[in-house]
Structure 1
Amino acid sequence: MFAIALGLCGCAGTPQHAKPKTTAGPDDAQSAALYARLDQDAKRYEGGLDLARTGNSAQAQVEIKAALDDLRDAATRCSAVNGCDSQRFVAGFDGLLRQGVGGRSDQSSEGDTASPTPEATGEAGVDSPLGTALPELGRSVTLLKGRELGDIIAMNDPVKAALEEWLTQYRPNLMTAYENYQYMRYRMWPEYQKAGLPEALLFGMMAKESGGKVHAVSRSGASGPLQFMYATGLRFGLGTVNGFDQRFDPQMSARANAAYVNEQLAIFNNNLELVIGAYNGGEGAMLRRVGKAGGQQSFWNPDIYASLSQETREYVPMVLAAAWLFMHPERYNLVFPKISGRPGSITLKQPASIAELTVCFGQDANQRDGWFRTLRNLNPQLDPQAQQSIGVQVAVPQRLEKVYVRDCTGGRWPQLASELHAAAVPAPSPVSLARSSTTPSRKGKSYVVRKGDTLSTIARKSGCRDASDVAKANGLRAPHYPIKPGQLLKLPDCG
């Protein structure tokens, strides 16, 4: 269900992956000849569509296939010609596929009725954790308006560059995002399913935005697993209720994200690349760029692509690449961990905080990182340091229900967790801290962090709307904004 442009072997990528051409001057004659082929292939493709509409399907397939094959060849040659703009071929291919049926997997080689792709029948990717489990997979691998995804991913250089990044330096981020998502999937995926959107898109956006960390906050104040700005969140039903910022709720944020995507798909004529770009850089800015580009409304159109920020040019391929890896890890020598995300809950038999439960659960069935992040993600409304009283229900993965009864209702582990949690860090008086501070606030307002404080609770106490206001005033770095008991914070004047 993605509107990725059918890029070609020579299409433009991100700067770090760009392939330099010869140092000689531009070859205008060769470039002009290739551009002419682009125009001719476009006319031939459109003629094939006309044949299909009149019922001449056999000849239509011949014309369409010939046009696409020649366009691929011209694009490949363009990449070797100095001065030839490969981006024009990307945008051209994208425009053609929006007019009707798409790439080779849409066409039958024998001229018969087109058969479904292996992905659509669930036969491909048998080693993928999604390959046999998700009946909606067939819809996810088909682009909006019937455009095929597999051929596009294989040829689009910006997406291939993004695939390499996810598989190399960002592989740990991808694996963490996948693990986090599996535990939240039962809350997030139904919202996308009801909206008629593919799950892979949800994962791709979440992986790029927050890595599945529900309490992530950017320097600009975007918050939650899908990083909504406060005003945008309000527009899609994410407010603040009883002191809880609903942008941090995984289910509500998925619902709001799906509503945003569908709203923008209607505005951008089902062009998902433009929608993803608008999500990152703002829909107003994207609309202005699309308007200036006239009828060539493709993310890959040079007039649009080149005018975008470097962040947005990289953001869109990264989202699409993460989505593709989510569906077909086996094609890239990638193995996602097998995780049972079945939901469960426990009713506290004795007072405990999320932090204490994390110590008590240890690494049972989660040998790498423990359970702190998972418990926080599943209980975003709970302060992780605040003890909850007896009888409070806490959401946990189902596998931890028995662990809680076995290890956390009595004995050494809850006792140890309580002892560690009760430890008090000596803090100098606010007066002495203020004297030693080299960066006093302009109005002299300050706050000494206490045990159990979070930046969000401190922000609320100081009258600030977002934790990022306090973070910015104190030079705290996203996304974790680390604070510790005894630390002196400047409080900004938030009115």
Structure 2
Amino acid sequence: MPTIVRASVALLALGLVVAPDALALSKRDQAAVEALNQQMQAAEARYRDAMVKIANADPAGNADVDGALEDMEDVMAACAKQKGCSPTTMLTAYKRLLKQNADAAAGEETPDDGADDGASLAADVPEAARAAALLSADGQRFVKMVQYNPAVQAGIRRWLTDMRGPLIDTYENYQYMRQLMWPQFERAGLPEALLFGVMAKESNGKVHATSRAGAAGPLQFMYATGRRFGIGPDATGFDTRYDPRSSAQAAAEYFNERLGQLNQSIELSLAAYNGGEGRAQRVYNSTGGRNFWDESVYNQFPAETRDYVPMVIAAAWLFLHPKEYGLTFPKVDAKPALLRLSRPSSIYELTICMGNGGTRDGYMRALRNLNPRYQAESWLPAGTTLSATTRMVGLYNRWCLQGQRAELASTLVRSNASSAIVRTGPVTPLPAEDAEIEGGGVGAAGAVTTSPSVSKAKSKPAKPTSYTVQRGETLTAIARKFQCDTGDLAKANKLKAPRFAIRPGQKLKLTGCEG
């Protein structure tokens, strides 16, 4: 696609996803908006002059066209940041230019003097319009960019039968994260249905999902690819591939890069997402840019990718048309709010004391997805602020601060299974001469009992004062094992919240533990 069209499509993306500020404007803002309008008019005039030069075979025309479009992009970018500026108004200039070239293509013959750039733009207008449909904020237009064929129908059948549960789980999980993820795709001009479809196939909306191959997060980024797009371990050691907002932003950038290189094909871009961008680009180049469903293209991808592409499109299709298939997605009260802990707690404890709150599965998954830096069992000190919803905050204040349910939740999360085993003394087998029992059979032949000395109470063993961390253990698990408070144990060993990181072989002081 020529530079002119690529720039035009990018311009469309900016214009179609930003809404003007409806608030009253100050004189300063009004002046800034007027200046931007004048800059856009100047860029439009420059573009028209450049098209005349191209028609007259003036070599300076190409450079002037590129410069004019760059000016328009700069104005659109500034407009998006300027209060009171209407991108829709700014976009009118671009629409006039596009229509002008389309009309020229319909009524004029292409000159044979080598000045064909203007005609090339006109010839690419249908493709530009097709790209613009994808970049529209109207997610329904997603369906115009994909082929609805038997492979997609088979995917829909699977989502509506044995995979209906995971599809509904994905929708519910996504609703809690929507305010974090959707704006990243919206700003990039990508349809929400694409985001949902990818998430449904990749993770079912579970931010802590990790594959055997090492892909991580709700959108399953491999480590190297994630680093390319700005996600991975941060300064605190947290892997931002697990963060909904960061992963969505990276995915939006990835898809726009692929779409730009693969002729705006969603199918090929999805094939790249799953099967590798290098493979997708080689297939695209070697087949002359044919459609994903062309046999020469389709058969060059592995079976996993051939299954992945229609399954993502099928999930996206159902996201847009649930009623047509008798599919009812749950209503989720996901209005965001901050929850400040008034007392030490964990996500496990909050899940118990909040209860279901009118939901099917309660709030553990939502709390984990909204707070990916914390493990479910991590002990969080009072004053910690969690991302939640207004509904969760209300339930927390009602049930988690005091009362029977709050105490019950606290008891349950602090329970230590090992403490259920009562030590009464060593078990001693009967002497050989006492092993036979009158009337005994198979069950009695090997019977054992405790010696008389067993009934004598033994002195209680001394409390342990230290413990060596074993592989796979967490501080919370150790605190439960020795019946002590996680916060106290962390403080005694100078471990920093919220992760309380420990390592195998580390010696811990068991201050305040029962043993």
Q: TM class, shorter-chain normalised?
A: 0.5 to 0.7
Task: Tell me the distance in 1 between the aligned counterparts of 2:269 and 2:336.
Answer: 32
- Is residue 359 of structure 2 the alignment partner of residue 361 of structure 1? no
Structure 2 residue matching 1:447: 3-state secondary structure: coil
Q: Which residue of 2 aligns with 1:411?
A: 403
Kindly tell me: are residues 296 and 219 of structure 1, through their superposed partners in 2, closer, same or farther at Cα, counting changes over 3 Å?
A: same
**Greater relative contact order structure (CA < 8 Å, 6+ sep):** 1
Structure 2 residue matching 1:351: 3-state secondary structure: coil
Asked which structure has the greater CA Rg, the reply is: 2
Q: Which residue of 2 aligns with 1:148?
A: 144
**Residue 194 of structure 1 aligns to which amino acid in structure 2?**
R
**Residue 280 of structure 2 aligns to which amino acid in structure 1?**
M
Task: Tell me the distance in 1 between the aligned counterparts of 2:165 and 2:247.
Answer: 24
**Residue 413 of structure 1 aligns to which amino acid in structure 2?**
R
- Is residue 439 of structure 2 the alignment partner of residue 447 of structure 1? no
Give 1:156-235 correspondences, 5 Å limit: 156-235=149-228
**Residue 382 of structure 2 aligns to which amino acid in structure 1?**
I
1:392 to 384, 388, 393: 384
Percent identity for Structure 1 against Structure 2? 45
Answer yes or no: is the 8 Å Cα contact 1:350–1:409 preserved in 2: yes
Q: Deviations over 1:131-190 (max 9, x none)?
A: xxxxx98632225xxx8259x42xx11111111111111100100000000011011111
Task: Using the TM superposition, give the Cα deviation of residue 388 of structure 1 relative to its aligned residue in structure 2, in angstroms.
Answer: 0.9
Structure 2 residue matching 1:54: 3-state secondary structure: helix
Structure 1 residue matching 2:312: 3-state secondary structure: helix
Task: Tell me the distance in 2 between the aligned counterparts of 1:405 and 1:370.
Answer: 16
Kindly tell me: are residues 204 and 387 of structure 1, through their superposed partners in 2, closer, same or farther at Cα, counting changes over 3 Å?
A: same
Task: Tell me the distance in 2 between the aligned counterparts of 1:51 and 1:194.
Answer: 31
1:252 to 246, 249, 267: 246
Kindly tell me: are residues 160 and 240 of structure 1, through their superposed partners in 2, closer, same or farther at Cα, counting changes over 3 Å?
A: same
Answer yes or no: is the 8 Å Cα contact 2:139–2:193 preserved in 1: yes
2:374 to 382, 393, 418: 382
Structure 2 length normalisation: TM-score? 0.57
Give 1:214-363 correspondences, 5 Å limit: 214-241=207-234, 242-293=236-287, 295-363=288-356
Decide which structure has greater helix share: 2
Task: Using the TM superposition, give the Cα deviation of residue 98 of structure 1 relative to its aligned residue in structure 2, in angstroms.
Answer: 7.3
Answer yes or no: is the 8 Å Cα contact 1:238–1:252 preserved in 2: yes
1:54 to 90, 106, 110: 106
**Residue 216 of structure 2 aligns to which amino acid in structure 1?**
S
Answer yes or no: is the 8 Å Cα contact 2:242–2:372 preserved in 1: yes
Give 1:10-89 correspondences, 5 Å limit: 53-54=105-106
Task: Using the TM superposition, give the Cα deviation of residue 52 of structure 1 relative to its aligned residue in structure 2, in angstroms.
Answer: 11
**Residue 391 of structure 1 aligns to which amino acid in structure 2?**
G
Answer yes or no: is the 8 Å Cα contact 1:329–1:335 preserved in 2: yes
Task: Using the TM superposition, give the Cα deviation of residue 283 of structure 1 relative to its aligned residue in structure 2, in angstroms.
Answer: 0.4
Task: Tell me the distance in 1 between the aligned counterparts of 2:352 and 2:371.
Answer: 16
Structure 2 residue matching 1:202: 3-state secondary structure: helix
Kindly tell me: are residues 462 and 137 of structure 1, through their superposed partners in 2, closer, same or farther at Cα, counting changes over 3 Å?
A: farther
Structure 1 length normalisation: TM-score? 0.59
- Point out where structure 2 has 5 or more consecutive residues left out of the alignment: 1-101, 109-123, 422-468, 479-498, 506-515
Kindly tell me: are residues 342 and 101 of structure 1, through their superposed partners in 2, closer, same or farther at Cα, counting changes over 3 Å?
A: closer
Task: Using the TM superposition, give the Cα deviation of residue 404 of structure 1 relative to its aligned residue in structure 2, in angstroms.
Answer: 1.0
Task: Tell me the distance in 2 between the aligned counterparts of 1:355 and 1:407.
Answer: 14
Structure 2 residue matching 1:352: 3-state secondary structure: coil
Point out 4+ residue stretches in structure 1 off by more than 6 angstroms. Answer: 457-460
Task: Using the TM superposition, give the Cα deviation of residue 297 of structure 1 relative to its aligned residue in structure 2, in angstroms.
Answer: 2.5
Q: Which residue of 1 aligns with 2:487?
A: none
Task: Tell me the distance in 1 between the aligned counterparts of 2:312 and 2:501.
Answer: 31
Structure 2 residue matching 1:243: 3-state secondary structure: coil
Kindly tell me: are residues 338 and 203 of structure 1, through their superposed partners in 2, closer, same or farther at Cα, counting changes over 3 Å?
A: same
RMSD, aligned α-carbons: 3.1
- Point out where structure 1 has 5 or more consecutive residues left out of the alignment: 1-49, 57-95, 103-119, 121-135, 429-444, 464-495
Equivalent residue pairs, number: 317
Task: Tell me the distance in 1 between the aligned counterparts of 2:208 and 2:184.
Answer: 19
